[in-house]
């Protein structure tokens, strides 16, 4: 089973130039694949898979590719992710359902953020992106999106991890 922790879709439309293109990318956390698919809207397009050495490398590569596409006039599409029928989930009591895959992806992101927190390297854009991804996956943890204050030390990462592990155990 593929464990996608980040997926983004971009479009570039221009009636005057008859341009109708899409570009999408996703990171598979299990094997550090970054798969990019692009083409004319309405077609299957083509794909390329980048094998990265780590989740951090995959996030860095994705950030680089996104910046290049945005510079060319692409715009991000907001996607709704339906819950698969066989997916286990819990209700947090705030009318938000949390899927087990979200918890697992958030746990993987904690491990990917660990070197940044350990070294106090909060200024990298890849760390900020992982923090944003983490907030989307686990908004119920109420993490501040300021990279310098979200996880100040390894202990704060471990506390978030413990909460996620409790939720993970509850949904299994």
Q: What is the predicted pLDDT for the residue at 2? A: 67
Domain span at 145: 89-171
Q: How many domains would you assign to the chain?
A: 2
Structure tokens at 31: 């094997």
142 is a domain residue: yes
163 is a domain residue: yes
User: Which residues pair with residue 51 across a beta bridge?
Assistant: 33
50 is a domain residue: yes
Under a CB-based contact definition with an 8 Å cutoff, are residues 46 and 37 in contact? Answer: yes
Verify that 95 and 160 share a domain, yes or no: yes
Q: What is the predicted pLDDT for the residue at 95? A: 35
User: Which residues pair with residue 7 across a beta bridge?
Assistant: 26
- Residues in Cβ contact with 102 at an 8 Å cutoff, skipping those fewer than 6 apart: 137, 138
Distance CA 60, CA 41 (A): 26
84 is a domain residue: no
Q: Where are the alpha helices (DSSP H) in 36-142?
A: 55-71, 100-118, 125-137
- Give the residue from 13, 43, 77 where a domain finishes: 77
Would you tell me how many other CB atoms lie within 10 Å of the CB of residue 45?
A: 15
Tens digit of each residue's pLDDT (9 = 90 or more) over 116-159:
888 888 887 788 888 888 887 777 777 777 777 788 888 888 88
127 is a domain residue: yes
40 is a domain residue: yes
- Give the residue from 43, 77, 111 where a domain finishes: 77
In degrees rounded to 5, what are phi and psi of residue 51? -90, 115
Verify that 67 and 97 share a domain, yes or no: no
Q: Is 7 helix (H, G, I), strand (E, B) or coil?
A: strand
CATH (domain of 36): 2.20.140.10
Q: Is 29 left (phi over 0), alpha (psi -120 to 50) or beta?
A: alpha
Q: Tell me if the pTM is above 0.75.
A: no
Verify that 19 and 55 share a domain, yes or no: yes
């Amino acid at each position: 089973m593929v464990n996608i922790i980040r997926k983004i879709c971009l479009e570039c439309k221009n009636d005057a130039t008859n341009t109708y293109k899409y570009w999408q990318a996703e990171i598979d956390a299990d094997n550090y694949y970054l798969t990019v698919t692009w083409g004319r809207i309405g077609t299957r397009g083509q794909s390329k898979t980048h094998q990265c050495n780590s989740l951090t490398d995959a996030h860095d590569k994705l950030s680089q590719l996104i910046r290049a596409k945005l510079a060319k006039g692409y715009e991000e599409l907001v996607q709704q992710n339906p819950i698969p029928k066989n997916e286990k989930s819990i209700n947090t009591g705030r009318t938000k359902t949390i899927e087990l895959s979200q918890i697992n992806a958030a746990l993987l992101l904690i491990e990917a953020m660990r070197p940044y927190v350990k070294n106090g390297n909060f200024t990298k854009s890849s760390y900020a992106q992982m923090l944003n991804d983490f907030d989307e996956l686990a908004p119920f943890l109420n993490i501040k999106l300021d990279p310098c204050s979200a996880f100040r030390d390894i202990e704060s990462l471990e506390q978030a991890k413990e909460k996620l592990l409790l939720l993970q155990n509850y949904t299994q």
